[in-house]
Amino acid sequence: MEYFRIGAWVSIILGTIMLVFNELIVKLTTGAKRIWRREDCPKLWDAVRQVTPWYARPYPRIYLVDDYGMNAFAFGWGLPFFSAVAATNGIIKNLSDEELKAVMAHEEGHIINKDILVTMAMTITVMMIAFTGWLLWRLAPYSSSNRRSSSDSSGNGWAIIIALVVGGVMYGMGRLLGYILQMFVSRQREYAADAASARIMGSPQPLISALQKIEGRANFGSQVAGAAVGFLCTADPDPSDFLSTHPTMDKRLQALRDLGE
């Protein structure tokens, strides 16, 4: 029980730090620069301001990433006064005004749906299971050895074996659970953010057009997507492998077309 308590507290503390300093971490890992006024980047400023619904205000903080890859993401706490969105120079340059609005509306959808908080809760749960298993694997044999030196119990050998097996299983389950949750939960939230963009824009067509331009270019020459994936909200890296956190582009486009019918 002691290991479970330690694992839970360590996971909660680390998760809280990741949430509280989320914006700072993203700024450091992506090189995002805060846009303080419209003159700094009129196109991005107007896009964010025009697609933020009244119930999602105050407006999220706006950041610009000096990168020629086509990407955008949401971060922060996902709560009023504590949310931010960012876009790369590449996506601002290559998308029309309406397409950029649709992409930023997608990121607003992540904020409205509290995806960052959901992801953090998911991360803490997975971390707690995996870290507790790691503690059992690494420390239980030593504690059993100490007990054996003070009390000659024949069951200590079995206790060590059980601790190692349970620890290994918990660690493996935690890692596997992390992949599964990323695959299914994150994918469903991407669909929900796409639907939010369609509602905000009044039509799915602007986002469809934007995604078609982004397709095959989201990660081209860019490390931004990789840095933002940990916070769930990338514009669309167009994944094709089974373990991706995003649905494939074809599925996203089809889902959007279905919304327009």
**pLDDT class for 159, splitting at 50, 70, 90?**
low
Residue 247, pLDDT > 80, answer no
Residue among 39, 37, 79 nearest 62 (CA)? 37
Q: What is the DSSP string of 107-160?
A: HHHHHHTTHHHHHHHHHHHHHHHHHHHHHHHHHHHHHHHHHHHHS--TTHHHHH
The 3-state secondary structure of 114-129, one letter per residue: CHHHHHHHHHHHHHHH
Provide the phi-psi class of 202: left if phi over 0, else alpha when psi is between -120 and 50, else beta: left
Beta strand pairing status for 83-88 and 72-76?
A: antiparallel
Query: How far is Cα 135 from Cα 15, in angstroms, rounded to an integer?
Result: 18
Q: What residues have CB less than 8 Å from 44, skipping those under 6 apart? A: 35, 62, 64, 87, 92, 100, 104
Altogether, the residues listed in the chain come to a count of 261
Query: How far is Cα 214 from Cα 96, in angstroms, rounded to an integer?
Result: 12
Q: What is the pLDDT of residue 55?
A: 86
Q: What is the pLDDT of residues 219-234, one digit of tens each?
A: 444 444 443 433 333 4
Residue 238, pLDDT > 50, answer no
Q: Point out the least confidently predicted range of 102-116, 141-155, 244-258.
A: 141-155
Share of the chain above pLDDT 70, in %: 64
Q: What is the pLDDT of residue 175?
A: 65
Query: How far is Cα 42 from Cα 39, in angstroms, rounded to an integer?
Result: 6
| Alpha carbon of residue 103 to chain centroid | 16
Structure tokens at 5: 């308590």
Q: What is the pLDDT of residues 176-211, one digit of tens each?
A: 766 666 666 677 888 899 999 999 999 999 999 999
Q: From residue 136, how far is each of 6, 9, 12, 140, 167 by CA, in Å?
A: 11, 15, 18, 5, 5
Q: What is the DSSP string of 16-67?
A: HHHHHTHHHHHHHHH--EEE-SGGG-HHHHHHHHHH--GGGPSPPEEEEE--
Longest dimension (CA), the chain: 76
Residue among 67, 65, 104, 120 nearest 232 (CA)? 120
Average predicted confidence (pLDDT) for the chain: 76
In this structure, the number of other CB atoms found within 10 A of the CB of residue 223 comes to 15
**pLDDT class for 97, splitting at 50, 70, 90?**
very high
This prediction has a pTM of 0.75
Q: What is the pLDDT of residue 127?
A: 72
Query: How far is Cα 249 from Cα 70, in angstroms, rounded to an integer?
Result: 14
**pLDDT class for 217, splitting at 50, 70, 90?**
low
Q: What is the pLDDT of residue 42?
A: 96
Domain residue limits at 253? 1-261
How many separate domains does the chain show? 1
Q: What is the pLDDT of residue 215?
A: 78
Q: What is the pLDDT of residues 16-62, one digit of tens each?
A: 787 788 888 888 888 899 999 999 999 999 999 999 998 888 999 99
Query: How far is Cα 87 from Cα 38, in angstroms, rounded to an integer?
Result: 15
Beta bridge partners of 33: 64
Residue among 201, 204, 188, 173 nearest 246 (CA)? 188
Catalytic residues, by residue number, are 107
